[in-house]
């Protein structure tokens, strides 16, 4: 099945389950390759300093197995930068989350952190690694992201997902403006956080030039009910524009 927008499956929750018991069940490497075999067009991991889910050695072990697109996201600490440069994924997504947060909960201030982001992005580009910056649906932050030299921005979609059931027309408006702002200045657009089977299609239908969505928690949770292969196909079906 072809879609204009790639589905990248974040497999952190698989590692969380494995780490809760120890050992290698479920097998993170097998799940990643199964996701690809079932139709996913990318694999995302987010290693954190405490390795509470994906571990650094998982990232190294995954790299030679991934045949689609490998996206590593995280805060660009020295250790994270070294890992990315060693592994050389297709894409690195820069997220401004401190070590103690449960999950990513904010986008970059691309004005305040412009110099830092420029330096980090330059390092990744020197190795041919595409970069994406995790940002709020704020046209100002997106326009300043251009000056940082990034290839893409990833729209942080938590507010859209939170407000979707009560008023989806209002919930989508800031994201339409933000995505159009990115598109107009030549940045490609990714999106992620709390996207699911209920709200994904509506989001994509209003932002048809999305390049990639990264989905983990909801997809892995749905797989408990529907099975992994069926769930991936269900998500891919949401990424089809109506004829």
Looking up residue 136, the CATH number of its domain turns out to be: 3.20.20.70
Q: Please give the positions annotated as active site.
A: 46, 73, 193
Domain with 12 in it = 6-238
Residue 1 lies in a domain: no
First to last CA, the chain: 15
- Tens of pLDDT, residues 78-123: 999 999 999 999 999 999 986 655 555 678 999 999 999 999 999 9
Residue 39 lies in a domain: yes
Torsion of CA 202, 206, 208, 209, to 10 degrees: -120
- Tens of pLDDT, residues 138-150: 999 999 999 999 9
Residue 243 lies in a domain: no
Torsion angles phi and psi, residue 233, rounded to 5? -65, -35
> At residue 57, does pLDDT exceed 60?
yes
How far is residue 4 from each of residues 91, 186, 197, measured CA to CA in Å? Answer: 18, 18, 17
What is the number of other CB atoms lying within 10 angstroms of the CB of residue 117? 24
- Tens of pLDDT, residues 125-138: 999 999 999 999 99
């Amino acid at each position: 099945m072809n879609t204009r927008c790639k589905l990248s499956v974040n497999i952190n929750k698989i590692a969380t389950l494995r780490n809760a018991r120890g050992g290698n069940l479920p097998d993170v490497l097998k799940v990643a390759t199964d996701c690809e075999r079932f139709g996913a067009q990318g694999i995302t991991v987010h290693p954190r300093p405490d390795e509470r889910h994906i571990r650094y050695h998982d990232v190294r072990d995954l790299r030679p197995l991934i045949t689609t697109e490998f996206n590593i996201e995280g805060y660009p600490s020295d250790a994270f930068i070294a890992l990315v440069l060693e592994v050389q994924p297709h894409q690195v997504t820069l997220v401004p989350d401190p070590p103690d947060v449960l999950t990513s909960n904010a986008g970059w201030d691309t004005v305040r952190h412009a110099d830092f982001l420029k330096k980090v992005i330059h390092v990744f580009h020197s190795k041919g690694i595409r970069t994406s910056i995790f940002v709020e649906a704020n046209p100002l932050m997106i326009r300043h992201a251009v000056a940082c030299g990034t290839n893409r921005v990833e729209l942080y979609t938590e507010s859209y997902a939170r407000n979707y059931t009560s008023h989806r027309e209002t919930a989508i408006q800031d994201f339409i403006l933000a995505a159009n702002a990115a598109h107009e200045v030549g940045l490609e657009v990714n999106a992620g956080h709390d996207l699911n089977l209920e709200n994904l299609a509506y989001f994509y239908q209003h932002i048809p030039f999305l390049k990639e969505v990264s989905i983990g928690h909801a997809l892995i949770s749905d797989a408990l009910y529907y099975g992994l292969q069926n769930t991936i196909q269900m998500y891919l079906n949401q990424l089809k524009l109506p004829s």
